[in-house]
Chains A and B, each alone.
Chain A
Amino acid sequence: MVERFLARLKSDPSLASRIAHWHREPAVAGASRPFPASLHPVLAESLKRRGIEDLYSHQAEAFEHVLAGRHTVVATPTASGKSQCYALPILSAMLAAREGRALGRDGSGRLLPAATRPTALFIFPTKALAQDQRAAVNETLAAEERADGGIRDLADAQALAVRGLAPIGAWTYDGDTPPDIRRRLRESGDIIITNPSMLHVAILPNHPRWADFFRRLRYVVIDEVHAQQGVAGASMANVLRRLSRIARHHGSEPVFIGCSATIANARTHFGRLVERDVELVDKSGAPRGERHHVLLNPPVINVPLGLRARAVDEAREVCRHFLKLGLPAIVFGRSRSRVEVLTKYLKDAAASLDLDPATVVGYRGGYLPDLRRRIEAGLRDGSIRMVAATNALELGVDIGSLDAVVMAGYPGSTASYMQQSGRAGRRRGASVTVLVASSLPLDQYVLQTPEHLFGARAGPEVIINPDNLVVATNHLKCAAFELPFRMEESFGSFPHTRAVLHALAVPGGPLFAKEGRTFWMDEAWPAEKVSLDGGSTDNFVVVEMPSGRSLGTVDRPAVMTTLHPQAIYQHQGEQFVITHLDWEGRRAEAEHVQVDYWTDAESRTEVQVLSEDQDAPRGLFRFGCGDVHTTRVATLWKRMRFYTNENVETGPIDLPPEELDTTAFWMALAPEMVDRLRLHDTARAGTLEGAASLLRSVVPALCQQGRSEVRALGLGSHPHFLSPVILLLDTVPGGIGLAEELMARHMALLRCALRVVRHCPCQVGCPACIGTGMARGPEAKRAVLELVSMALAAAEESSGCGPAAGVATIDSSGRIGFAALGAEGEH
C-alpha cells in the first residue's frame, strides 16, 4: 500500500518536482540478548508464552542499570519496547521481594532489606497516556484485568498463586479515580501510574497519607522526557525536587528512569531534570521496518516575492492521495486554527471522492476529553481513516498503527518531527512520512540541511531552566507547605533557596521562620494556584448559544486575539462567531455561522527594560539580556477568506492589555549603524522588523522552543537603548531561560539567520526569510542581510573567533546576488 504511494510519488511529475529530499531508512534486523539471570521466572515464562525468547540489547542494558540503582534515561525510537526497559527490572525486584529475596539497589546504591516490598511511581504526561500504559504493562505481563477497572493485577496471576505470592497491584491515580479506590491504592498499591499534575496537586501535598508508599518508594519512571521542556520542563524538574525531598523525609532514595524520543542531549537533559548523574541507553536493538522520509517543498508561485504555495494546501493534496489509496494517515498542523482549516478541507476532499466525511476528523487540545477519547478509539478500530491533529496527538496516545504521516509544516523541533513521524510504521512493513515545508525560515532551513533531521547527532537541544525564578519560587512554596525547611537546606540546585525562603518569611509572607526552620503560615494552599504549564489555569470557556453547549477552552493570553467579539472560533471544521465576551466571567458566547472566512488578529507590544543582567558591547553592536516588562494590546482583527487567504475586512479590537514580566535578549545598534546601513526613516523600522522576524524564526534551530514561546520586536528607537534595537522576548512570566541561552549562543543564532537569508531564493524578502511585514523590496532584504552579517562580524571579531564572516565574504558569495544589490545601492 505504502509502496503504491511511493511509486506514485516518483511517477507523478507534479509531485516529483516538489521533492527536496528523500531519506530512506533501511529495515533494521535488531540485536538481542538472552534473558538476564535476575529476570524473575514468572516474567520470563510470561514473555515466552507470547513467543518472546530474548530481550533487545537496549532492554538488557537498561535492566542492568536499573537493578544496579543507576539513574537511567532510555532514548530509543518509537515502538522499540521502551516500557519493557523499566517494567522488567522493576517487576523482577517486586517479585523477588515477595519471595523474601533482596534484588536491586536504591538510588544511593543501598541494597534494600528483603522484607521491604518496594513501590514504584510511573509519571506519564497525560491521563490518556497513563491509561494506555496500564493496559500495555498488563498485556506485557499477561495480567488479569479486573472488572472494576480500578485495579489490575500485574504479573501472571496464576503463576504467582502457584508460588504462593500476592499479585502486584498497578493503579492509575488521576482526577477520575473514585475516593474509595484512592484510599485502597494508597494503602496497597505497588505501582501508581499518574501524571505530573496529580503528583503536584494531590499526592505531594498530601504525602502524610502516602507515608507508607513513600517509605518504600524505590523507582520513579518518567515518560516522554523530551517533551519536558520550557515551562512544563522547568515545572517537572521542580516537582521532582519536591518528590525527592518527600521521599528522603520518609527514608527512601528512589532510582529515576526516563524514557525519551531521540534528542541530541538526552543524557544532559534528563540529568538536569532529575538533578542526578544518569546513564544513557540509546542504541536500539529493536528491528524496524523500512521507513521513508519525503521532504516536499511547495513550488514558488510568485518569483519576485519568493512566495511558495501554502503548506496546508499542498498537504491537502498529498492527503487526497492517501484517501484515494485507502491508506490510514494522520496529518499534523502547527496550530489549532490550521488544524481546523485542514479538517474542513479534508472533509470536503473526502466528500468529493465519495467517501464518508465522518471518517475524517480533527483532533486538538481544547476539545473536551470525551470527544478526544472517542476519536482515539475510532482510530484504533479503523472507523476513522484520517485525522488532522495538532501535536496533542504527538505524545504516545495509543491510536494503533498507521501507514502514513503528513506534516503540514515542520513541527518545530527534531524531537517533535521524530515523534510525529513515529506515529506511522509501528508495524514491520514500510511506512512513509511526508513533510510539506512551509515558507517559514525554519522549514526552509531544514530542507537545506536535512542532516539537521537525519544526521548522527540530529537536532537542537532540549533546554530547561529549573531555576526560573517564577517556577522555582512557586514550587519552593509548595515544598515549604509539604515539609518545613531548615534554613540551610537546599532545594535541588536552585541557587536562591535561602534568599527566597527569607523573602517568604517576612511578616505578611506565607512562611514563618523559627529556630532555623520555616513553617507554612497561610490559609492558602499553594499547589492549587501553581499551574505546571505556566499560568494557564486562567481559561475562558467558549459556549455555543443558544444551546449552552461548551465548545472548548482558550488560555487567557490568547483570548484577546481569538475570542474578541467578531472573531471566528473554529471547531471540528465549523465556524462560530463570537457574539459576546464576558471578561470577568471568563466566558465567550458563540453562534454557529456558515461563512467563507476565518479571522486573524494583530497586536502591539511595548517593552520597558527593568534590568540589564548581561551587557556585551561588540563594536557597533551591543548584545545583552535582562528583565523586561511588556504590555501587549490587541489592535485589529482581519477576516481572511478560506482558500484564497485574502483579507476581506478589518476592524478594531477593544480589550484590556496583557501585562507580562519576563526576560529578553537584545541586540542594540550604535547610532552610527543607521548611517552605515542607510537606515533612514521608513526603511529603518522595516529593516529592524525584518531582522527581528528572521532571528525569531531560527531560534528553534538552536534550542527546542516553539516559535510561540518567543516574541520578536525590531524598533527604530527605544527610550532605554537610545538607539535602534532588536528584542527577542521570552513569553513566559519570569523567563524560561531563553534570554540567557540566546545571549550565550548569539553567534550561532546570527549564523543560522545569515544562512537562511543568504539561501533564500526570493528577491524582495518573503515569509521564508525576513517576513512579510513592512520590510519589502530588494533594498530591505539587502539591509537585513547586511545588518545580520555585520552583527555577526562584530560578535566574532570581539570574541576572537578568527576571520569574520564579514561583509566582503558575503558580498562575493551571496547566492541571492547580494553583491549586485549592494552595487545597485551605491548608484
Chain B
Amino acid sequence: MSAGLQEKLARLGLLAATPSTASAVPPSVVSELPGRECLTCCGPVWMHERRFVPGAAPLPHGTRPLTSVEKALLFRRPPRHGAAVAFDIETTSLASGAGVNAFLVGLGWWHEGVVVVQQWLMRSPLEEEAMLASVLATLQRFTGMLSFCGRGFDIPRFRDRLAMAGRGEQLPVFPHDDLAPLARQMLTGRMKNARLASVEAELLGFRRVHDLPGSECPREWFALQRGQAHRMAAVMEHNAIDVASLFGVEWALFEELQQPRTPATAMLATVAALEAGEMMHAQRAANVADEILAADSAGQVPRGLAEQYRRARQRLHAAC
C-alpha cells in the first residue's frame, strides 16, 4: 500500500499507534506446544489429552463421579442416566459477536476413576472447521453437560462459532448442569467473588499457582498467530484445570450439601431433595436444618431461600 495512505490512516487514529516492526517468527512453535497434531476429515487440528487423578490438584482426595441420584439431589431435578461431559472454552474476547473466536475447547469426563481432559487448540483460524468437527464428534458420546457459567457464556459462544461454520444445527441439545448459580447460592458470604478460582479456594482448598489469568489468554493466542507460542502451554494448562476442577467442585458441593454446616446449605439441601423427588433425603435434610437453625439462626441466608424452605417444610409435612 502507499505510504501516504498508511500515514493518513495513522494520523486519523485508525491504526494502532505504531505498527511494531517485529516480523512474524517462523512457525517453529509446534515443538513448544503440549500435544500432537491430529488429522480430521476437515484438516489438521492440535489436540492434547491429560488425566487427573483424585488426590492431586485440582481433585481432592475421595473425588468420585456422582451417581445419577446424587446429581439429581445436587441440581434439584429428577435423576437421569448417562455420562456428562465437562465443557469449557477460551475465547478471544468476553464480548459476543461473529468476530469472537473460540480458539481452545476443553472437554472432560470420568474414565475408570480418573478425569480425562481432552483439548482442541486451533493454531490458526484456518483450523477452526477441523476443531469444530472433531469436538462435535466427541460430544456425541455423552448425554449431559457440566459447566461453570456455560449456559450464559460457553455454549452461546460455541453455538455462534458453529453457526458461522454452517453447523448451527449440529450441537447436541444436552441437559446442562451449570455449577455457577449453585455455587453462588450455597457459598453466599463465604467468597469475595463468584469466580471458579474462588470456589476452588473455598471448597477444595486449592489455590492455583502460576495460573495464567483467563483475561490474558486472548493475548497469548494472538501471539501464537505471530509465531510466539511460549505461553500457549500455560493457557492450555489453565483451561485443563478449569475443566477438571468442575468434577472436584461438583463433588465438593455435593458433600457440602450432605453435611450442611450453615443454615443456607441446610435449607438448600431440603429444598433440593424435595425438587429431586427424594422424600427420604428431604426429611433427613430438614431434620439437620432444624438442628443447625436452632444453634445458629443468624447465619446468612440468600433472599428467597428462607421462603423456599418454608414452603418445602409445608410440603414435607403434608406428605407425612
B84 to chain A, nearest CB (A): 25
A26-68 to B contact mask, C-beta < 8 Å, 1/0: 0000000000000000000000000000000000000000000
Among B8, B95, B126, B159, which residue has its beta carbon within 8 angstroms of that of A627? B8
Residues from chain B with a CB closer than 8 A to the CB of A496 are: 5
Asked if A508 lies at the interface with its beta carbon under 8 angstroms from chain B, I say yes
Q: What distance in Å separates the Cβ of B212 from its nearest Cβ neighbour in chain A? A: 15
Q: Does A180 contact B (CB under 8 A)?
A: no
Is the CB of A818 closer than 8 A to any CB of chain B?
Answer: no
B201 within 8 A of A: no
When C-beta atoms are compared, the residue in chain A nearest to B21 turns out to be A507
A550 at the interface (CB under 8 A from B): no
Give the residues from 1 to 19 in chain B that come closer than 8 angstroms, CB to CB, to chain A.
1-2, 4-6, 8-9, 11-16, 18-19
Interface: B314 (CB within 8 A): no
Binding stretch for chain A, among B45-53, B160-168, B279-287: B160-168
Are A499 and B5 touching (Cβ within 8 A)? yes
**Hey, which chain B residues are within 8 Å of A512, CB to CB?**
125, 222, 225
Cross-interface CB contact of A481 among B18, B19, B98, cutoff 8 Å: B98
Which chain A residues border B66 with CB–CB below 8 Å?
A: none
Q: Are B1 and A525 in contact (CB under 8 A)?
A: no
Least CB separation from B226: chain A residue: A507
Does B245 lie at the interface of the complex (its beta carbon under 8 Å from any beta carbon of A)? no
Question: Do A508 and B125 form a contact, CB below 8 Å, given A208-B98, A208-B163, A473-B14?
Answer: no
Is A474 part of the binding interface, using a Cβ–Cβ cutoff of 8 Å? yes
Name which of B22, B125, B168 has the most chain A CB atoms within 10 A of its CB. Answer: B125
* Chain A: minimal CB distance from B92 (Å): 6
- Chain B residues within 8 Å of chain A by Cβ, number: 44
Contact B97 A481 (CB under 8 A): yes
Determine which residue in A496, A522, A523 has the highest number of CB atoms from chain B within 10 A of its CB, and name it. Answer: A523
Q: How many A-B residue pairs have CB under 8 A?
A: 121
Residues of A within 8 A of B138 (CB): none
State how many angstroms separate the Cβ of B15 from the closest Cβ of chain A: 6
Q: Are B93 and A523 in contact (CB under 8 A)?
A: yes
Contact A470 B14 (CB under 8 A): yes
Which residues of the other chain, A, contact B99 by a CB distance below 8 angstroms? 205, 480-482, 520, 525-526
Is B259 in contact with chain A by the CB < 8 A criterion?
A: no
Binary B-proximity of A510-538 (CB < 8 A = 1, otherwise 0): 10101101011111111110000000000
A526 / chain B contacts, CB cutoff of 8 Å: 99
In the complex, the answer to whether A507 meets B160 with C-beta atoms within 8 Å is no
- Give 1 or 0 for each of A191-220: 1 = CB within 8 Å of chain B CB: 000000000000001111101000000000
Report the minimal beta-carbon distance from B250 to chain A, rounded to whole angstroms: 28
Q: Mark interface residues in B115-128 (1 if CB within 8 Å of A CB, else 0).
A: 00000000011100
Nearest CB on A from B155, distance (A)? 13
**Chain A contacts of B68 at CB under 8 A?**
none
Cβ-defined partner of A525 (8 Å) among B20, B93, B226: B93
Given A473-B9, A508-B19, answer yes or no on A208-B222 (Cβ-Cβ < 8 Å): no
Give, as a whole number of angstroms, the nearest-CB distance from B232 to chain A. Answer: 15
A527 and B93 CA atoms in complex are apart in Å by 14
Chain B proximity of A239: nearest CB distance (Å): 15
A208 to B158, CA, bound (A): 11
Question: Is B40 part of the binding interface, using a Cβ–Cβ cutoff of 8 Å?
Answer: no
Question: Contacts A481-B98, A514-B124 hold; do A507 and B24 have CB atoms under 8 A apart?
Answer: yes
Residues of chain B within 8 A of A611, CB atoms compared: 4, 8
CB nearest to A504 among chain B residues: B15
Task: Classify chain A's interface size.
Answer: 35 or more
Cα A496 to Cα B315 with chains together (Å): 71
CB distance from A598 to the nearest CB of B (A): 35
Residues of A within 8 Å of B161, CB to CB, are 208
A609 close to chain B: CB less than 8 A: no
Interface residue A502 (Cβ < 8 Å from any Cβ of B): yes
Question: A208 touching B160 by the CB < 8 A rule?
Answer: yes
B residues within 8 A CB of A734?
12
Contacts of A502 in B (CB 8 A): 1
A181 interface residue, CB < 8 Å from B? no
CA distance A661 to B8 in the complex (A): 9
- B98 & A661 in contact (Cβ 8 Å cutoff): no
Find chain B residues with CB under 8 A from A504 CB. Answer: 15
**What distance in Å separates the Cβ of A738 from its nearest Cβ neighbour in chain B?**
16
How far, in angstroms, from A84 to B107 measured CA to CA in the complex? 54
Q: Is B96's beta carbon under 8 Å from chain A?
A: yes
**Digit string of A531-547 for contact with B (CB within 8 Å is 1, else 0)?**
00000000000000000
Kindly provide the distance from the CB of B176 to the nearest chain A CB, expressed in whole angstroms: 16
Question: Is A482 a contact of B19 with CB atoms below 8 Å?
Answer: no
B218 at the interface (CB under 8 A from A): yes
Chain A residues positioned under 8 Å from B94 (CB to CB): 523
Q: Does B12 lie within 8 Å of A470, measured CB to CB?
A: yes
Contact of A503 among B1, B98, B124, B225 (CB under 8 A): B1
A483 to B98 alpha-carbon distance, docked (Å): 7
- Say yes or no for A112: interface residue by CB 8 A criterion: no
Interface mask (B204-223 → A, CB under 8 Å = 1, otherwise 0):
00000000000000110010
| B125 partner residues in chain A, CB cutoff 8 A | 484, 512, 514, 517, 519
Residues in B with CB closer than 8 Å to A510 are 16
Contact between A207 and B18, CB atoms less than 8 A apart? no
A198 to B194, CA, bound (A): 32
Given contacts A482-B99, A499-B2, A514-B126, contact A521 B12 (CB under 8 A): no
Asked if A469 is at the interface of the complex by the 8 Å CB criterion, the answer is: yes
Q: Which residue from chain B places its CB closest to the CB of A521 in the assembled complex?
A: B222
In the assembled complex, A307 has its CB within 8 A of some CB on chain B: no
**What is the bound-complex CA distance between A150 and B301, given in angstroms?**
37
Q: Contact: B6 with A503, CB < 8 Å?
A: yes
| Known contacts A482-B99, A514-B125, A521-B225; A508/B12 CB under 8 A | no
Q: Is the CB of A503 within 8 A of B9?
A: yes
In the assembled complex, the Cα of A528 lies from the Cα of B100 at a distance in Å of 14
Contact A206 B124 (CB under 8 A): no
Query: Once the chains bind, are B20 and A508 in contact (CB under 8 Å)?
Result: yes
Decide: B11 and A661 in contact? CB cutoff 8 A. Answer: yes
Q: In whole Å, how far is A631's beta carbon from the nearest beta carbon of chain B? A: 14
State in angstroms the CA–CA spacing of A493 and B189 once bound together.
58
- A498, chain B: closest CB distance, angstroms: 8
Closest Cβ of chain A to B164, distance in Å, is: 5
A482 to B99, CA, bound (A): 5
Contact pattern, A 479-495, Cβ under 8 Å of B = 1, otherwise 0: 01111100000000000
- B96: chain A residues at CB < 8 Å are 205-206
Check A500–B9 contact: CB distance below 8 A. yes
- Which of A474, A482, A503 is the most central at the interface, judged by chain B CB atoms within 10 Å of its CB? A503
Q: Mind listing 20 A-B residue pairs with CB under 8 Å?
A: A208-B160, A208-B161, A469-B14, A473-B12, A481-B99, A482-B97, A500-B1, A500-B5, A500-B9, A503-B1, A503-B15, A507-B20, A517-B126, A523-B218, A525-B93, A610-B11, A611-B4, A611-B8, A661-B11, A733-B12
Top 10 nearest A-B pairs (CB, nearest first) are: A481-B99, A208-B163, A520-B99, A499-B1, A205-B97, A506-B19, A519-B125, A208-B160, A525-B95, A508-B16
A residues contacting B by CB (< 8 A) are 205-209, 211, 469-470, 473-474, 480-484, 496, 498-500, 502-504, 506-510, 512, 514-515, 517, 519-528, 610-611, 627, 629, 661, 733-734
5 new A-B contacts, CB < 8 A, other than A208-B161, A500-B5, A661-B12, are A208-B168, A469-B12, A484-B125, A514-B225, A611-B4
